[in-house]
């Protein structure tokens, strides 16, 4: 080969090599960034060219897909629809052509759109046979009756709040309600005249009540006296007291340690030297504050962490961390032990507390997805219940159960009584705001136990009633009836 031809051959070879390098760079190195580039309309068009799979509750879809009219302004063939969207929004999240997706709609997007790698074989067959790609289903653990009872109860009260129900034996989430809420259908499309306006109205800058906030998972509240259940567990686990009816040597008045500040109780209640059963029945701040101070911050922190405090939970939707302070002096430890100071909890966290007590001390990992299904309804994955921790022994859990059951039979939780069912509970009224100037949060945590000894449901409810008189706000008055209705709905669904 003469010199000019050799140069041309080498040059052409270099061009082919550059083309191969560029092609591999685009197909492998930049594939994900190009696929997710917001300017890549082809991906979005393909995404909305077929109906999404559904999110299932009790065997029925709570989502759907609607055919849209395509034109030069809208080239997306399908958009998401929701049944009882506001009630289910804390579970589903949203899937919007204009604003993306959240919660289950986002986490399980690959299954719902049919693009998940676990569907590769099926999608390959569909491509060969010319069949349209289909999305799979997300089957939840939710109980439709319990969810409706929770949402309707919060809506009836009218204030901001949330409710969570768990199956103590498995950790399955049975209800997850938040109020006020929103309907994801209102901005599922990409119209600037309707969807964008609906989205803007729901933002906190437009609506101070922040309806898109998932209060069950993404907001924390001072738990108030419901935290006394954790403090009682710490006392039993650390051998400070050996039973529910042992005198606690609690003075009245009780002065916070290393201070001159008196820790007061709500009203004239029998708290002097009261055993833990009576102290929980009447919600004695003095008794449980002293227990926390006597145990010290390290033992209290250890017990709180066993219940899930100071850790994120993934259901698979992420729940924010509930807080029990790690740095405290002795007075702050006493206050934290009655759910004040910097103690803060999500409704999910307090449902986990009630659940662990009901399940004889075993805390199960909370989850809301039972299984993922292929379009053929074949099961791709099935969630297996998993123990998260053991906050207290079976013996001590049963002691604490008897105390919580006294709260419902003879104490502040009478509004949660269910005929023929054993109910354990704890009320709470948590102060907040500068100098406690804000409306208190009304809390109630509880569980139901059937005659066979099984406990199918544990519940936590928190309500802020901005319209009520301060003296009328109490966990027993506002939150306990909601919890009762949720528990009854679960029990009735088992019949």
Q: How many CA atoms within 13 Å lie on the side-chain side of 269?
A: 19
Task: Report the candidate in 478, 229, 177 with the shortest Cα–Cα distance to residue 353.
Answer: 229
Token code pair at residue 432: 């907040």
Euclidean distance between CA atoms 207 and 204, whole angstroms: 5
**Look-up of token digits 């004695």:** 284
Cα angle at 219 between 215 and 225, to 5 degrees?
95
Largest Cα–Cα distance in the chain? 110
> CA quadruple 319, 369, 169, 142: dihedral positive or negative?
positive
> CA quadruple 78, 83, 85, 91: dihedral positive or negative?
negative
Beta-carbon contacts of 298 under 8 Å, excluding residues fewer than 6 positions away, are none
Q: Print burial letters for 278-317: b (CB count within 10 Å at least 16), e (below 16).
A: bbbbbbbbbbbbbbbbbbebebbbebbebbbbeeebebeb
Euclidean distance between CA atoms 227 and 419, whole angstroms: 27
Is 283 annotated in the active site?
Answer: no
For 403-456, where are the E strands, in sequence order? 422-430, 441-449
Q: Which listed residue (96, 102, 225, 337) is catalytic?
A: 225
Which residues participate in catalysis according to the annotation?
225
């Amino acid at each position: 080969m003469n010199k000019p031809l050799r140069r041309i051959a080498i040059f052409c070879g270099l061009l082919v090599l550059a083309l191969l390098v560029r092609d591999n760079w685009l197909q492998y190195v930049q594939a994900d960034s190009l696929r997710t580039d917001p300017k890549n309309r082809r991906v979005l068009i393909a995404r909305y060219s077929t109906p999404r799979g559904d999110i299932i509750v009790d065997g029925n879809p709570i989502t759907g897909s609607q055919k849209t009219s395509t034109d030069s302004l809208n080239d997306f063939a399908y958009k998401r629809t929701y049944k009882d969207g506001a009630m289910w929004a804390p579970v589903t999240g949203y899937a919007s052509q204009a604003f993306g997706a959240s919660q289950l709609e986002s986490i399980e997007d690959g299954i719902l759109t049919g693009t998940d790698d676990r569907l590769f074989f099926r999608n390959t067959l569909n491509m060969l046979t010319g069949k349209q790609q289909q999305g799979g289903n997300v089957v939840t653990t939710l109980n439709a009756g319990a969810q409706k009872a929770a949402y309707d109860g919060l809506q009836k009260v009218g204030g901001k709040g949330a409710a969570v129900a768990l199956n103590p034996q498995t950790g399955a989430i049975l209800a997850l309600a938040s109020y006020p809420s929103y309907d994801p259908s209102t901005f599922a499309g990409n119209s600037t005249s309707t969807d964008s306006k609906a989205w803007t109205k729901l933002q906190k800058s437009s609506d101070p009540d922040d309806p898109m906030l998932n209060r069950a998972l993404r907001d924390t509240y001072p738990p108030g006296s419901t935290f006394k259940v954790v403090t009682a567990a710490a006392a039993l686990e650390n051998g400070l007291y050996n039973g529910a009816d042992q005198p606690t040597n609690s003075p009245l008045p009780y002065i916070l340690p290393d201070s001159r500040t008196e820790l007061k109780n709500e009203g004239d209640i029998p708290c002097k030297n009261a055993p833990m059963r009576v102290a929980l029945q009447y919600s004695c701040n003095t008794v449980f504050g002293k227990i926390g101070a006597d145990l010290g911050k390290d033992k209290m922190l250890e017990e709180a962490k066993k219940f899930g405090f100071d850790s994120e939970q993934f259901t698979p939707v992420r729940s924010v961390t509930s807080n029990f302070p790690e740095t405290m002096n002795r007075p702050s430890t006493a206050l934290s032990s009655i759910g004040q100071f910097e103690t803060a909890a999500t409704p999910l966290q307090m449902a986990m507390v009630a659940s662990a007590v009901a399940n004889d001390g075993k805390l199960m990992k909370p989850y809301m997805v039972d299984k993922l299904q292929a379009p053929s309804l074949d099961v791709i994955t099935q969630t297996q219940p998993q123990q998260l921790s053991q906050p207290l022994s079976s013996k001590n859990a049963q002691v604490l159960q008897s105390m919580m059951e006294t709260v419902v039979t003879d104490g502040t939780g009478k509004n949660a009584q269910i005929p023929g069912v054993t109910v354990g509970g704890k009320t709470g009224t948590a102060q907040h705001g500068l100098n406690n100037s804000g409306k208190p949060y009304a809390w109630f945590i509880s569980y139901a136990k059937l005659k066979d000894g099984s406990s199918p449901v544990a519940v936590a409810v928190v309500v802020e009633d901005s319209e009520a008189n301060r003296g009328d706000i109490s966990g027993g008055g506002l939150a306990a009836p909601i919890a009762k209705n949720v528990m009854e709905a679960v029990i009735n669904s088992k019949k």
